[in-house]
Amino acid sequence: MKTKIYSSFIFFIFLGLTLMQSQELKKTKDYPGINRMENAQIKWYQQKNFDRYYILYVKDQRIHNKQIEGKILRFQYVLPKTVSVYEAFKYYEQLLKNQGFDILLELDKTNCGVNLSEYLYIGEFSGLNALPHQETIKPDFREDKFAYIEAKKILPDKTVYVVVYITEYGEPLVTLDIIEVKRNPTACFTPEQIGQQIKDYGHFSLYIKENKTLEKEPECLANLAGFLISHKNDKFYLVGHTDRSLGQEKGQKISIENARFIKNTLVNKYSVNPDQLKIKGVGSICPQASNETEEGRKLNNRVEIVRQ
């Protein structure tokens, strides 16, 4: 008798927890800008503040993986049975492009050649790539109906990767992974990477401290000089920016001084042609991060290289 009462007690606790989890899932909001399809129902949400994740790339006609680290969010959505895998694939492909993401990789049965579910989600990799246990394999699983999209967007303070895996488990299931990789403002880029940044985003930023130094000044400025010298026929603006704490009038003055500091260093130390560069200063009117936090203010104190 006691055993039956105890079992019933455990059952109702489990049922209550399940209902609570279901209610919490209904309150879960989509990732900003990555809205679910119409009539999609959220089935799973998980967040890790810091973990490793494996993204894919193709080399020599084979699929390889590369580890990244950061904050990871996983959403799983069930779609109506009337929605095909291909329709969901086209929805997310267009959505990501509209949100300014670069598509890195797209895979389906026509160009993949491996069982992606086993390769990526059922334990071959560690970290968050493993799906929630109840969503790994079901009897009606159709491996021939799947699509995989990998995209990337570089923001001032982080790089955001989006991985979408769509397949059928009796009904279309979307696994949406968001990986936020925090950027180091003091990190240096190669001359080629600097050029790519300017091409893709219209500018490249150097982050300035109060004493007009860069944490890795020789390497960073040497790489920027290398880019400028290799593009000697192109002209650029050096545009100084500050955070809001200085006020606009003082910020305007300091932003011009910061731009002049960068130009003088490039010209006098690295032999960049002075006619290639014009300096500007805009103070605090164009922040790229919040001025309410110390981290944001650090990102706002910068000099941007912009093509004339």
148 and 213 in a single domain? The answer is no
169 and 53 in a single domain? The answer is yes
41 and 18 in a single domain? The answer is no
Q: Give the mean model confidence (pLDDT) for residues 223-233.
A: 93
What is the C-alpha radius of gyration for the chain, rounded to an integer number of angstroms? 25
71 and 164 in a single domain? The answer is yes
Q: Domain range spanning residue 8?
A: 1-29
35 and 169 in a single domain? The answer is yes
Whether pLDDT at 304 is above 60: yes
141 and 205 in a single domain? The answer is no
49 and 64 in a single domain? The answer is yes
Q: Which of 178, 176, 179, 241 is nearest to 207 (CA)?
A: 241
Counted domains in the chain:
3
150 and 211 in a single domain? The answer is no
Alpha carbon 224 to chain centroid, angstroms: 24
Higher-confidence residue: 21 or 28?
28
35 and 23 in a single domain? The answer is no
Three-class DSSP category at 170: coil
Residue 278, pLDDT score: 96
- Its pTM stands at 0.59
Q: Which of 21-25, 36-40, 73-77 has the lowest mean pLDDT?
A: 21-25
Return the top range by mean pLDDT from 47-51, 90-94, 105-109, 284-288. Answer: 90-94
Share of the chain above pLDDT 70, in %: 76
3 and 74 in a single domain? The answer is no
